Chain A
Amino acid sequence: MKVSIDWLREYIDIDIPIAQLGTKLTEQGVSVEGITKIGGDYIFDLEITPNRPDLLSVFGIAREIKVMLRKPFKKNPFNTNLQVDNSGCDITVEIEDKKDCPRYAGCLLENIKVEQSPDWLKQRLSVSGIRSVNNVVDVTNYVLLEMGHPLHGFDAEVIKGRKIKVRRASGNESIITLDSIERKLDVQSLVIADAEKPIAIAGIMGGENSEIREETRNIFIESAYFKPTLIRRGAKKFNISTESSYRFERKADIDGLIPALLRAKELLIKLCKGNMKGGITDTYEGKKLERKKVNFSIKWLNGFLGSDFSTEEIKKPLISLGFDVKGDTLLEVEIPSFRRDIAIKEDIAEEVIRIQGFEKIPLMNRISFNKVTSLPNNSLKINRIKEYFISQGYDEAVNISFLSSEEIKFLNSHTIPIEIKNPIASNLTLMRPTLLPGLLKTVKKNINIGVKDIRIFESGNVFIHNSDKDKINEMLRIAGVLTGKVKEQDWRGENREYDYYDIKGNIEGLFDYVRIGNISFRKKEDLPALLKMGSNLYIGKDRIGYIGSLSNKARDFLDIPQKVFLFELELAHLLDHISFARKFTTLPRYPGVLRDISLIVPKNVTHQQIEDIIKMNGIGLVERIELFDTYHSKKFTNGSRSLTYSITFRSPKKTLNDEKVSRIVDGISNAFAEKLGIKLRGSE
């Protein structure tokens, strides 16, 4: 909200520098976001929080300055001792439901002259960001800015039946509002109607049919209080926020509407000539709203704030703010009608501390250190895993959780993604069901800027419908990508590109690092469509993720020119398998015996099968199996290959002799022949 300092000076003497006034207002809770100089005037741009509708006016701000500077008002438009003639006028007001409209007042002015406003008025509106229309509309807006209460002027001659009805619209009514848009009304819409039709959407915008025109002579000025939630719903439904609706939905001052009406009447008679016909119509019938009272003790307040305020230090700011305060050690505070945000003693505590200043709270440290806290286990485990990837040269990426439908389509997965109903952009409409698209985007982006050797990982939630489709699972995952060269080009000349075995090695290394032993790479289930040459990863029987290389199709789609290797793991599952417990195993006392074996293996036999046979037939004495050579030769039939292993045998009980080891190797050899039909080429 913009407010003019010159205007403020009409109500209160400001004798401190403008910048200081700005700082002090902010420290008091009226946040000054900017100060602009216009001619000799300064305009404050204020951020008013939604709990403080009382600050949505020049006078409201003057009230805060009065408390700050401890000065009396020069004038107070609410403090009118004027006699109010509430005998009513010849326009009758009928309210369908008092809950929708607890109070409706108005008055009739006749023989007015509608014309341009004087310059001073135009200027006041203009610095507040409001366009000048004509003197009648401008006066209603002026009073809204000055006193915070929205008013509305109707052309009295078009009010059919000389009757104002405040009612809900029927299902099939509509109205053309002042912005020339036809609005379909529904039973949630509160309207101001005459005997026949709606002439305004209550509290939001007037109708074109009752607009003040140049030829208008008689006007009806409305000053009312509407149910805030109704106004808010209406403003949302019609997608309009007006100065009126903004104030009504934040709760206007129900006691302030008559002073506002009187102020408008006075200005209208001055600027538009004319005269008031009859008295003021007021459905309130002079009843006064019961004022809220809040009780608390000085001891409670100081205890709650950790402060040491005297009774006077607590009472003074409250009184200055317009509260009635009674009592000494026990206080009873009566809340003025314009402070509808105050309801409980904590609210009062806030008023006291914001006027006294938070710096009055003694800075002491009463924080007790009675509890030893540490990271939860899962956080420690995640940190451990991140450390591992960092040690392997991976950078950590963080992508947002949104994807486009194209990105999902290219994944070619059968899961139905979770849609965002109100996305900010057409390419950010879906919640990610996997971390891979984000990482691939990261790869592409970095290749484009010339960073081609990339190792990245990301951990974060993915979002997937569960099997019964109506629930959403949030799953913590970790994924990573390798692409480019294994090392930066250097003078030693090693310059290999990453391949599948690099990423597999990183994953095997991870499981080794977190001490998960029973992992296996299998091809059983379908791999994600964007993977080729990959495999599923299992811990025991749990499928925990997959690794592989990005398919050519996906690479074409993403326009990534180089080979990309990736993995994605269910991090949450993984964490369940990690334990930080470590048990020492006695170091071997007897030497191990090394044997190398060489096999020619048919195409369909995997390394895993061979390793399994060696382990199973090693009678528990196989300590280590290393594949250290593979080769292909045209001499081999059917695409067979040669694999050479180095096996370490060791017994914890004694030194193994050659004979014993040879017997084991024979056993292994027999198993190869039996199970896979292959022979050892030799062993040494």
Chain B
Amino acid sequence: MAPEKYTEEIRSEFLQKLNLTSTPEEIDKIRIMYLGRKGIITKKLKNIKNLDVEKRPLYGKAMNELKHSIENALEEKNKEFLGTKKLEENYFDYTMPGDRRWQGHLHPLTTTTNEIIEIFLKMGFSIAYGPDIETDFYNFEALNFPKDHPSRDIQDTFYLENNLLLRTQTSPVQIRVMEKQKPPIRIISPGRCYRVDNFDPSHSPVFHQIESLYVDTNVTLADLIATLDIFAKAIFGASTTIKLTPHYFPFTEPSAELNVSCPFCGGKGCSTCKHTGWIEIMGCGMVHPEVFKIVGYDADKYTGFAFGMGIERISMLKHNINDIRLFFENDLRFIEQF
């Protein structure tokens, strides 16, 4: 028999046996069976000296190769239980926690602001910004709040040095934009506002608004309503309906509040909407001609609409947040929910 064929038979028999092992103890038994002092290979190697002189080198080489390959196979098999493969495959548990990095979260005021901005960008509005610290002129006078007039009581104001104040609304941005730019104007202006309010579940002395202004020839109340309808459906869902109720703001006439069908009960009435089916989300109206006069627009030629909403309020409604203070307390367990 040719030496290769002979060793091949031994090898295949060995591999069959090895394949049947499932513990390190069984592998060891096979090792002893082949490579032990009285093992099959050991015996065969000893027997070589009994062969013909000319056959010895060939058989010797073949047997040594066989011995090596058996040793290698045993080692490999052992690794399955003892080496790296032990953890990765034998102890592989696909349910163990993966290795995760910390995940950051945007503040819900940022996500809500971005969401609102997105909607208006699609409608062709641009974005304008203004300062937090304002003068009486921009915050009140130019917005048709007369001096010594009760309408100023609507918004109690924080005052700083030199008669400066913290803006109570983002509307001063409207004036700043109109002073610099001729119609058509179609802007939204997000920003931080301040009012003398103590903290409670629905008030904060610092809050955020998004204000909008659209001025052109022939802007109508119908345009305002259509814009608000698109916005309400985009932000609270396609089945949302809107209702305007008359209100008063010095800088718009007519003025109204926008109510949306309650996002929680769909208008059937629940505790959030105080069983009315409606939730008020913003003030709006047609720009008062006095405001146009102050910025030097021809009030006979141009009309416009404006509206403004509290970002916290929108965010609270969207996410079912019941306390405005949560936005400013920065409890990470809150922020990480968004």
> Are A50 and B154 neighbours in the complex by a CB distance under 8 Å?
yes
**Residue B333 is within 8 A (CB to CB) of chain A in the complex:** yes
Stretch among B9-17, B58-66, B119-127 lining the A interface: B119-127
CB distance from B186 to the nearest CB of A (A): 7
What 10 A-B pairs are tightest by C-beta distance, nearest first? A306-B222, A393-B102, A29-B246, A306-B220, A350-B254, A49-B248, A390-B104, A358-B244, A354-B246, A229-B148
Which of A26, A389, A420 makes the CB contact (< 8 A) with B158? A420
CA distance A373 to B117 in the complex (A): 11
21 pairs across A/B with beta carbons < 8 Å? Answer: A23-B276, A29-B248, A228-B148, A350-B254, A363-B229, A365-B230, A370-B124, A371-B124, A390-B105, A393-B102, A393-B103, A397-B335, A402-B205, A420-B160, A424-B198, A431-B160, A460-B192, A474-B133, A487-B101, A490-B97, A491-B96
Known A395-B336, A399-B330, A446-B330: A229·B147 in contact at CB below 8 Å: yes
C-alpha gap A556/B154 in the complex (Å):
43
Cβ-neighbour of A396 out of B104, B225, B329 (below 8 A):
B104
B interface residues, how many (CB within 8 angstroms) = 82
Does B313 lie at the interface of the complex (its beta carbon under 8 Å from any beta carbon of A)?
Answer: no
Contact code string A577-608 (vs B, CB < 8 Å = 1, else 0): 00000000000000000000000000000000
Segment of B21-29, B35-43, B106-114 engaged in the interface with chain A? B106-114
Q: Is A455 an interface residue (CB 8 A)?
A: yes
Chain B: which residue is nearest A455 at the CB level?
B102
Contact B218 A303 (CB under 8 A): yes
A454 to B194, CA, bound (A): 29
| B226 part of interface (Cβ distance < 8 Å) | yes
- Which of B104, B197, B245 is within 8 Å of A26, CB to CB? B245
Query: Which residue of A has the minimal Cβ distance to B148?
Result: A229
Whether B332 pairs with A373 at a CB distance below 8 angstroms is no
How distant is B218 from chain A, measured CB to nearest CB, in Å? 7
Question: Quick one: which of A348-363 are within 8 Å of B by CB?
Answer: 349-350, 353-354, 358-359, 361-363
Tell me whether A422 is interfacial, beta carbon within 8 Å: yes
Chain A residue nearest to B133 (CB atoms) is A472
Select from chain A the residue with minimum beta-carbon distance to B205: A424
Q: How far is the CA of A394 from the CA of B255 in the complex (A)?
A: 42
B100 at the interface (CB under 8 A from A): yes
Chain B residues with Cβ under 8 A from A364's Cβ?
222, 226
Provide the bound-state CA to CA distance between A472 and B253, in Å: 34
Known: A390-B106, A451-B333, A455-B102. A363 touches B226 (CB 8 A): yes
Contact B253 A347 (CB under 8 A): yes
Query: Is B197 within 8 A of A397, CB to CB?
Result: no
Cβ A470 vs Cβ B162 within 8 A: yes
If A29-B246, A390-B106, A455-B104 touch, whether A445 touches B329 (CB-CB below 8 Å) is: yes
Can you name 9 extra interface pairs (CB under 8 A) apart from A23-B276, A358-B243?
Answer: A303-B220, A306-B220, A307-B221, A363-B229, A373-B126, A401-B132, A421-B160, A422-B196, A431-B160
**Chain B residues touching A, majority SS:** mixed
B331 to A362, Cβ gap below 8 A? no
Q: By the criterion CB–CB under 8 Å, are B104 and A305 in contact?
A: no
Q: Is the CB of B125 within 8 A of A395?
A: no
For B276, the closest partner residue in chain A by CB is A23
State the main secondary structure of chain A at its contact with B. Answer: loop
Given the known A-B contacts A367-B223, A367-B230, are A249 and B121 also in contact in the complex, defined by CB atoms under 8 Å?
Answer: no
Check A50–B161 contact: CB distance below 8 A.
Answer: no
Once bound together, how far apart are the Cα atoms of A363 and B223, in whole Å? 9
For B286, what are the chain A residues with a Cβ–Cβ distance below 8 Å?
A: 304, 346, 349
- Other-chain residue from A367, A418, A490 in contact with B161 (beta carbon distance below 8 A): A418
Within 8 A of A (CB), among B222-255: 222-223, 225-227, 229-230, 243-248, 250, 253-255
- Chain B residues with CB under 8 A of A168: none
| Complex contact B104–A375 (CB within 8 A) | no
Question: Could you mark each residue 131-172 of chain B with 1 if its beta carbon is under 8 Å from any beta carbon of chain A, else 0?
Answer: 111000000000000011111011000111110101000000
Does B289 lie at the interface of the complex (its beta carbon under 8 Å from any beta carbon of A)? yes
- CB pair B330–A401 under 8 Å, yes or no, is no
How distant is the Cα of A454 from the Cα of B126 in the complex, in angstroms?
A: 36
A371 touches B186 (CB 8 A): yes
Which B residues touch A344, using CB under 8 A? 253, 289
- Smallest beta-carbon distance A369→chain B, Å: 6
Contact B160–A358 (Cβ < 8 Å): no
Once the chains are docked, how many angstroms separate the CA of A386 from the CA of B106?
8
- Select from chain A the residue with minimum beta-carbon distance to B128: A376
Known: A366-B223, A370-B124. A428 touches B104 (CB 8 A): no
A365 to B289, CA, bound (A): 24
Chain A 374-406: CB-based contact to B (< 8 A → 1; otherwise 0) = 111001000100100111111111111110000
The residue that B102 contacts in the complex, of A233, A399, A442, A488, with Cβ under 8 A, is: A488
Give Cα distance in the complex from A441 to B331, angstroms.
11
A428 to B125, CA, bound (A): 36
A415 lies within 8 A of chain B by Cβ: no
In the complex, which residues of chain A have a beta carbon less than 8 angstroms from the beta carbon of B198? 424-425
Decide if A180 is an interface residue (CB 8 Å cutoff): no
